[in-house]
Structures are given as structure tokens and as C-alpha cells.
Amino acid sequence: MSPEGILSERDHILPEQVHLLLERTTTMSEHCGSIRCIVGANVCITGARFCIARATYSTIGALWLQKVYCWSELPYGRSALSSLLERLIWLPEDCGSRRNAKHGGEIFDRMSFDILIDQRRTRSSLLRLKVRYRHMLTEPIKNTSVDYEVELCNGAEKDIILPVQCLRNYPKEDLFGKIVMVRFDSTVLFKEGQMLELKSVHRAFASIKYLCNAGAKVVIVTDWGEPNGSTRLPTQSVADYLSKFLQVKVLAADGIYGRVQSKQQKLETADILLLENLSVYKEEVANCPIFSEKLSSGIDIFVNDAFSDSHRILASTVGVVRFAHASVAGFHFEEELLRLTKALEIIKRPYIAVIGGGNLMDKSSALCHLASHCDGLVFVGTMAFQFMHALGLPVSSGLLEVGAAAEALKLINLAKERNIPILIPRDFWCMNSENPKLLNVFPAHDLLDGWKPIDLGPKSLTDISSLLSESKKVLWIGPVKLGTSQEKNGASRLVFTLGQACANGCLLTVVGRAACKAIKEVETSQSMQYCFKSAAVVWKILKGQSLPGVAALDQAYPYVLNWSSIYDDPSGPLIVDIGSGNGLFLLRMARTWSSLNFLGLEINKKLVHRCLESVQKFGLRNGHFISTNATTTFRSIVSSYPGFLLLVSVQCPDPDFNKSDHRWRMLQRTLIEAITDLLSGEGKVFLQSDIKSVATRMKQQFIRYGRGKLLVDVDGIGVEYDGEGWLKHNPFSVQSDWEQHVIDRGDPMYRVMLAKADGN
């Protein structure tokens, strides 16, 4: 494509102006220079040869250079261009933070240049640039990142709705007769062989009861006790216990390697099948694919209800999803994830984090996150000694972590930049090494040899109480424990202080088994939000890492779509193109039929961005595109549409012929079932491909998983089939660019139209 073509395709973003920021480079005399753009555009500086600078958005608001294609060094007009650029102001590398750049006696906050580019095909007039500048002293740079802009164009708002598919949203009628594996969270049921609080137990069993009532056959997989523990309960005892609680027959299986027929036969004589304790299998922790396949043999749907293990990569939480056609979150899993999402929201300030425990090196990224969002950090565990050491205070080598001082200094400097306090103990209760019954209080800067810190001192607790008394939100994560000491006075005093803060309206989130156990010893107001016993899950989130157990589930669309802002008439019929690609087919359809609404679902964000630009360029109010994986999000997106689904098209999917395992993943059972469920009584499905085997596979899959609701449309207007059962012509009279390409080269397209059977 020529430079003029590239420029003409982009100039609708800013038809008259392209705002540029230019920076000095050592190659300025050799090349046309680096260009930093504030708005999205492709800028072409052309001569006998040309250079294209392509700019993209960044998350901080400015647009940084993505890639420069230099086909020449501009051998003609080079000095004129260099002379022009030399007269312009040069902004420093950190132009976003350094407000003023001084040049030639003038001071500018920011400048924009309108560059009018004109190409001459004669060598005597290679380049003409008309430049004028103006001050931009008050106009801020907008945060126009690609993702952000796409989300805004989608009419979407971030919501607390979970970005995973949940059991409550799965069609209940589709559960009847299905074999459903439930990964149960045994930590909410057993504690040293005893049942935990009744409320927790009821929540934990909600998914299993729901599935049984829906007519599903349930297979429970879980773990209890340590792999080598002597108190591990036998499988039959656990099955009997579950039977008594659920009031249904629970059958204990011998091992987990049962064949499909074996599981089905056993489920004919019982309501629930309990597989053997997973903790005895090392393949579980290793996420062994062979083990996962055998574990999930015969399973239709996987329900994960073990949120406390979501930070781990296990065969029973991650590996099995590959062999189930649907993987969703159970009621307990959904509730815990939603509670944690809300708990980490910052809705009140001052927001203080109370951090116990140790292992600073492993948690440094999470602590940096807290330091960047909280209004103060309080260290009440062995991490405090790392900060003392970093500040030059004497600390016993037995209390130090290798290399932790540098990380501690990094956090201290970050806190200084944000002007927030980091509170470490001023004094400690210490125990004499020779006489353990001899206790004394020592200041933190004067710990004597032979005395071991075992608990927080009175001054430290006073400091903590003073800081927390003014807080409106507190996150307490980790135990108040110094080394191996079992002293609990400091924890008790902290709990008392937090109880008073809660009584004054402070929101409290407690994380970790020790902290949750300690908090129960005092009555707190209803302002105390949540207790999370699995600290590893929370630490992983604070580190900015995804939870494998969550990521493995089918994803839902994480935004609430405002259909009224997308379409002029959101109640009109909807046509969805799955895998819309460059969007040309859908854009042509939208311009042809203004009474219908068109939606393209495409996983490639860059293509979606271009399509949205075209929607804006043409002023379309009946066309829209969303960047998403339609395989898992189709149901959550289309089910929220206020109108009815008239047509779904899947055209020319690209199977991976190099990977047989992934070859047909472009069209999965969950997607077909979602389309079938949401399609209106008069709805249709259009399938086509230039590869016969792909078209045949799509047709077979839709008929197979359409559950008798989809049949080949033979009565439709303009529908005419050849001898092999393929449509002779495109029924829409609108072709995609690839379809046109295939026809132009003389190859056939394999098409079929499916319709709802009897309007079901």
C-alpha cells in the first residue's frame, strides 16, 4: 500500500490536524527523526522514497512510537528537514513530568504542530511542510489507551460482575442427565475431623444441592488431611458423612481411575460419587495431563467450588478443564471471589495495611502495590526486622533475610515519595535466652545480646492504636508473630484496637488463618467486612498475578454494556458475526440494512480498534464491535441485549492444522449451545468456509450440539442447495473480502444455513 493510502485511511481520526511532539535524536541528520504522537495516526513524510512512523497509545495518556519503517535516509531534502526540526522545541525524555522546556528564550508547557504533508513525484520538489505551532498550556492529554478507548466505544463500564462463567448463569435445563464434576473445598467442612460452622457448610454445599435438584449426576473430587498424615479419614467415612448431611446417597469410589462406563454405572445406583482423597496422588500437585484426563473421564461439566486452592496449579482445578466442555465457578467459589473483589476495593480513607508474618523478598511486589495505594503501612511481624536493618538498627542475624534490606529500602523510598508513614515497632517484649521465664521490654534500637524479641512492646502498640484510630479501612494480613514465639498479647491488643475502630465505622478485612482466628476473640461491629483464611490467594492478587484456578474457568465478559449508547434502537433484531476479522462484511451489512443491528465479536484487539474507527467514520448507529473470546463470552454478552437474536454467522474460521489438539477449538460445544439457547424462534445460523472439511465439521457440530433445535434451512427465501447440500449462492448479496478473494481465484465456497426447528 502506498503512503498516501495509509494516510488517507487514518486521516478521519483528525482530518485537518496531526498533533506531534518531536524529540532530538542522534540520527536526526540521517533519518527523518523519531516522532511522538498525542493522537492515534499514521504519519507519512514522503519524498522520492518515504518513511512511515506509526504511533500507538500508551496507558499513561501520551502516544509513544511503536515502530518506524525506514526505507531510505531521505537523500533529498535532508538538510531542509533537519533545519526545520532544529528550530522546533525539543522536549526531554520525561516530557510528561518535566513541565517546562526552554528553548530560544521561550517557555512552553506543551506544543502541537499541524503538519500538512504533500508528496511531489518530481525530484526537484520532494517535500513541502507547512508548520505552525500554538501553545497548549491548559489542555490536558487524554488517557486514550487502546483498551480504554475500545472499552469506552463499547459503551461498557467496569462492574463487579465476575469475569468468569458461573453456575448460577448456566441454563439449568442443560444440567439434566449431565455428569458434573465438582471440585469441593474441604477446608470449609473439615478441621481435624470436625465439621466447621454450620453457615459455612451450607454455603459450601449449595452447588452440589443445586446440581442434584437439576437432575445432574455429581462426581465430587477433593482432598482432606496431609499426604502422610495419620489422621486422614478413609473415603468411605467421608462419603457417609456427606450422605448424612446432604440426605442423599453418596457412593465412595475405589481410586480415581474409573472408566467412563464405571462412573456411569456407579451413578445409576447413587446420587453422588465421591472419588478418593486427592492428597495421596502426587500427580495432583504436578498437574499431570494423563492424571487430569483420567480424573475427568466421562465428565460433561466441571464446577470449581474450591476457591481456597485457586492460587495453585492442580490437576483437579486447572488440568481437568481441558476435558470438560464447560468449566464454571460454583456458588461458593463465586461468593468468595466476589467478597475478595469488594474487600480490596478502596472505598474509604485513610486506608491502612497491617502486615504480619515474614518472607519480605517473596512479597516485595505485593508490598509495593500496598505502598502505592494505602495511606500507611504497619509491620507487626518478622518483616519489621528487615526494615530495622535497612535503617541501620542492630538486628540479630537469625532474624534477617538475605537481600531483604534492599527491598525494604525500596519500600521506604516509595513511602517517602507518597508521603505516607511506615510504622515499625519502637520496642519489644524480649525473653532471656538462658532463662525463658525472664521477660523485659527493650527499645528497638537497643536490643541486647542474649535477649530474643517475642512480642510487640507497649509503645509499639500505642503507636499502632493511634494510627488505626483515625483509619476508615484496614487490611490486616499475616500473623502478629515474631519468629517462633507463641506469645499472643500483641495480637490480642491489636484485635481490641481493631474492634474499637470497627465500632467507629472502620471497614476491616482480615487475611490469614492466624489473623482470622485472633479476630474471633473479640466482638466487632458489622463494619468488619471479611475474613479470608487463604492468605496465599490474597498475596498472589496483591502481586498482580492471576489466579490459575480462576483463569482456567470459562471467561465471561467483564463489562456492563450500555446498549442504548451503542445502537439507536437497541430493541431491534441483532445479527452477530463471530470472528469478524477486519469487519468489512459486517460494515457492509450495516450500511445496507439500517433497520437491523450488527455486532462483531473478534479476539484481536487491533482489528476491533480499526473496526470501531470505521464505525465512527461512517457514522453508523447500527454497527458495533467488541474485543472478546466469543467461545466463552457469547452468552454473557448477547443475553444482556434487550432485543432478539436473529442471525449468527461464522465465516472462514482458521483451524490450526499444525496442532491436532487445537485444530477444532475455534468452534466449541459451549458456544454452539449458547447460540442455540439465545437464538430467537425465527433465528438462523449461517456457516461458510473455503475449506470443505471445516465447513462440514461446523455443520455437524451445530446439528449435534444443537440438541435437535437446529436443522438445515430448506425453506428460506433465496436458499438453493447443490447436490452435496451446500448453498449455491451467498443469501445476503454481501460478501466478505476473503469470500470475494476465493471466488475471484475460481475456488468454491462451502455454505449452509441452519434454522430453528419448528420455531423452538
Q: Could you give all domains of the chain from N- to C-terminal order, each with its CATH number?
A: 3-142 (no CATH), 167-340 (3.40.50.1260), 347-524 (3.40.50.1260), 562-759 (3.40.50.150)
The CA–CA distances, whole Å, from 314 to 196, 317, 322, 734 equal 25, 5, 13, 48
- Number of helical (H) and strand (E) elements in the chain, helices listed first: 25, 35
Residue 253 has a pLDDT of 85
Model confidence at 155, pLDDT cuts 50, 70, 90, reads very low
Residue 427 has a pLDDT of 92
Query: What three-state secondary structure class fits 518?
Result: helix
34 vs 609, more confident: 609
Is the distance from CB of 454 to CB of 429 less than 8 angstroms? yes
Q: In whole angstroms, what is the distance from residue 374 CA to residue 608 CA?
A: 36
The model's pTM is: 0.72
Residue 233 has a pLDDT of 76
**Nine-digit cell string for 710:** 437446529
Model confidence at 496, pLDDT cuts 50, 70, 90, reads confident
Per the DSSP assignment, residues forming a β-bridge with 686 are 649, 753
Per the DSSP assignment, residues forming a β-bridge with 531 are 510
The CA–CA distances, whole Å, from 532 to 364, 401, 433, 471, 536 equal 21, 27, 36, 21, 10
143 vs 437, more confident: 437
Torsion of CA 584, 586, 587, 588, to 10 degrees: 80
Please state the rounded mean pLDDT for residues 173-201.
72
Q: How far is CA 234 from the centre of its chain?
A: 39
Please state the rounded mean pLDDT for residues 417-432.
92
Residue 687 scores a pLDDT above 90? yes
Strands (E), 25-122: 35-37, 42-46, 50-57, 63-70, 101-103, 106-108, 111-119
Q: In whole angstroms, what is the distance from residue 683 CA to residue 677 CA?
A: 11
Query: Mean pLDDT of all residues in the chain?
Result: 75
Residue 664 has a pLDDT of 46
Is the distance from CB of 197 to CB of 360 less than 8 angstroms? no
Residue 557 has a pLDDT of 87
Please state the rounded mean pLDDT for residues 584-608.
94
Catalytic residue among 109, 568, 654, 722: 654
Residue 130 has a pLDDT of 28
Please state the rounded mean pLDDT for residues 422-443.
90
Strands (E), 631-699: 645-651, 679-689
Please state the rounded mean pLDDT for residues 289-310.
92
Query: What three-state secondary structure class fits 326?
Result: strand
Residue 349 scores a pLDDT above 60? yes
Catalytic, 271? Answer: no
Residue 202 has a pLDDT of 64
Q: In whole angstroms, what is the distance from residue 535 CA to residue 513 CA?
A: 8
Residue 614 scores a pLDDT above 80? yes
Residue 23 scores a pLDDT above 60? no
Residue 477 scores a pLDDT above 80? yes
Please state the rounded mean pLDDT for residues 616-629.
94
Residue 60 scores a pLDDT above 70? no
The helix or strand, by DSSP H or E, that contains position 475, with its residue range, turns out to be strand 473-477
Residue 411 has a pLDDT of 93
